[in-house]
Chains A and B, each alone.
Chain A
Amino acid sequence: MRYSRNMNMLTHEENNKLKTFKVAVIGCGGLGGYVIEMLARIGIGQLLCFDGDVFDQSNWNRQLLSSEDNLGLSKAHAAALRVKSINSDIEVHAYDVKLTEENSNLLEGCNIVVDAVDHVDTKIMLQGICERLDMPLIYGAIAGWYGQVATILPGDRLLDFVYKSKKTIEKDLGNPSFTPATIASIQVAEAIKVLLNKGDILSNKLLFVDLLNHDYEMIEF
């Protein structure tokens, strides 16, 4: 019954298969909160939630896991509590640390990694870690009305083309509630398709989204 509305876009076999996968979400803020929510609801078996930060009031405008009741709480722990309240069948692990090269062994055994971090340098580090561990990385980034998504398979090194400059604009533009939700949704759709080997994925492609002017550009690399 829990997954009845996942049918028929997924077969019973595909939905059951989702329970066998282990997915890491790096960052439990704007993108990560929505990504974790959607992965939990669709029924991924194991979720690893990483974030070294705690909630403050500036998170309330967009971060799904933040509330007036959990100021100061670890974002990773809030993610685990949310997952358990949605779907107690899921094995969830909270890591209230920043992911680094040194602790990247925590990702071993994952089928896929979702990028929900808010620094370009960390995104590029994640690309390197996932390449070394031979794991697909579902990349997402947001700034104001704008966002972009790609699926980076090991060795693709897409971010080398995407960040000729590492100076980012989201500090000037902020982030509203709807841009992370939009980009996170596309990231989760990508993750499910990669896991189930289904449909077309954004491999060696970047989808650029401009919600202000409704410009949706597919860039091929």
Chain B
Amino acid sequence: MHIEVRLFATLRKGRFKRETFEYESSTPAHILSQLNIPHEDVAILLVNGRDGSFDQPLNDGDTVSIFPPVGGG
């Protein structure tokens, strides 16, 4: 199955903005591990534009979007 991964802000550094990967099966946690992104660097995790969880099974055609924590004032 194909999963599109979108990275935002600092998570793009040394990685990419948007890429499609092919997996037999996957979860957001699996993708983060493959991209070497620690969970603590993830503030917003979206699956198909909606709030997602690290361990939810992904389906063919899903888009996973990952944002780092922005918290200054």
Offer 29 A-B interface pairs, CB within 8 angstroms, sorted by A: A29-B73, A32-B73, A115-B73, A119-B73, A140-B73, A141-B71, A142-B70, A143-B68, A143-B72, A146-B10, A148-B70, A164-B43, A165-B43, A165-B69, A167-B69, A168-B69, A169-B71, A170-B72, A172-B10, A206-B44, A208-B44, A208-B67, A210-B8, A217-B65, A219-B44, A219-B49, A220-B49, A220-B50, A221-B51
Query: Of B8, B45, B73, which contacts A215 at CB under 8 A?
Result: B8
- List A residues 101-160 near B (Cβ within 8 Å): 115-120, 123, 140-148
Bound Cα distance A123, B10 (Å)? 22
Bound Cα distance A164, B65 (Å)? 14
| CB atoms of A210 and B9 under 8 A apart | yes
- List A residues 152-211 near B (Cβ within 8 Å): 161-170, 172-173, 175, 180, 206, 208, 210
| CB atoms of B71 and A143 under 8 A apart | yes
Contact flag A30-B73 (CB < 8 Å), given A210-B9, A220-B49:
yes
**Any A CB within 8 A of the CB of B41:** yes
**Any A CB within 8 A of the CB of B1:** no
Bound Cα distance A206, B69 (Å)? 13
Tell me, rounded to whole Å, the shortest Cβ–Cβ distance linking A184 to chain B. Answer: 10
| CB atoms of B73 and A142 under 8 A apart | yes
Bound Cα distance A38, B10 (Å)? 30
**Any B CB within 8 A of the CB of A27:** yes
- Residue numbers of B with Cβ under 8 A of A are 8-10, 17, 39-46, 49-51, 65, 67-73
Chain A residues within 8 Å of B41, by CB = 165, 167
**Any B CB within 8 A of the CB of A48:** no
**Any B CB within 8 A of the CB of A24:** no
Nearest residue, chain B, Cβ from A171: B72
| CB atoms of B73 and A120 under 8 A apart | no
| CB atoms of B9 and A163 under 8 A apart | no
| CB atoms of B73 and A165 under 8 A apart | no
| Most chain A beta carbons < 10 A, residue from B49, B51, B69 | B69
Chain A residues within 8 Å of B43, by CB = 162-165
Tell me, rounded to whole Å, the shortest Cβ–Cβ distance linking B43 to chain A. Answer: 5
Chain B residues within 8 Å of A215, by CB = 8
